[in-house]
Amino acid sequence: MKERRMTLEDDFKLESIGHLRMAFKKAFFNPLINYFTHPRIIRFTLKYCGSPIIKASLRDPGGWKSMIAAYARRKPGGPVDYLVQKLASLPMGLRNRKRMAVRCLSHLLNNSKGPVNLVSVGAGPGINELEAMARSTNQSVHCYFLDLASEAFEYGRLVARGLGLLDRVSFIQGNVVQIRDLIGIRPDIVTTIGILEYLTDEQISDILEAMYEIMPEGGCVLSSSITPRHGTDRFLRKILKLRLNYRNTESVMHLLGCVGYNHFEVEYEPLGIYSIVTGHKHSG
């Protein structure tokens, strides 16, 4: 059998849900998940459903392990896992967000002249940044992964080693607001993908201001918006105890603009859940 070579276009193809599946999802799947799912049923599902996404999400709602499970490409592990992969918009949206973030970031890295200091805020294992670096033709990129917790760093280093990037990354535990004390560099590109939904406006502004103050002219920040269009917010709050702070694209641009970022670029994913917002530091 002839081996099929995966192309970048295949890798970056965004997922969507057809009209019939979307109608079924809204009429039956979402109400079932939101209103007719008892916690005992979920515990039973955790034990027997064979869905890595459900298992990881129940153990670590919104954590890096659940993100890794959502990103994985694999065959369904049973009927429940099949429904999760085909009808659960949030995991599909997460994969779309990852593809858009990697594509945008690798493009920025390729178009950067000279060495690039990349900073990932609330990085976890830094999958998006590592993949973007691996795809980029710019070999003068060093990424600083900053997070309050260091649990995911070991996994991140393992991925970096496998991609041949271990000597170009630094995993640092600490509060990014104190970036001057944590790392002695000026960030050319900052990523905040996937953390804004867990922070207040004040916390976000503190982070953005800390980065803006030391970022050179021409630098940029990548952020992401999130809306409740996945249709299962009640399930997230009731079963997973996960309360997300929803902000649409305009809200994210407003937060960035208040700090001083401008010349925004936006990319939307087909499900309408996420967008990638890039703000630049330019005077005038």
- Tell me the per-residue pLDDT of 187-246, one tens digit each, with 9 for 90 and over: 999 999 999 999 999 999 999 999 999 999 999 999 999 999 999 999 899 888 899 999
Domain contains 245: yes
Joined together, the tokens standing for residue 42 give: 């979920």
pTM check: above 0.85? yes
Domain contains 182: yes
Beta-ladder partners of 224: 276
Residues whose CB falls within 8 Å of the CB of residue 45, separated by 6 or more in sequence, listed in order: 51, 54, 80
Closest CA to 209 of 141, 281, 127: 281
Question: What's the CATH code of the domain at 196?
Answer: 3.40.50.150
The residue assigned the tokens 């970031």 is 105
- Indicate the SS3 state at residue 120: strand
Domain contains 159: yes
Number of domains in the chain: 1
Domain contains 190: yes
Instruction: State the pLDDT at residue 7.
Output: 41
Beta-ladder partners of 144: 119, 170
Domain contains 211: yes
- Tell me the per-residue pLDDT of 4-40, one tens digit each, with 9 for 90 and over: 333 444 567 899 999 998 999 999 989 988 887 677 7
Domain contains 44: no
Cα 121 from Cα 196, distance rounded (Å):
10
- The DSSP annotation for 232-274 comes to -HHHHHHTS------B-HHHHHHHHHHHT-EEEEEEE-TTSSE
Tell me the residue range of the domain where 141 lies: 93-280
Domain contains 15: no
Domain contains 22: no
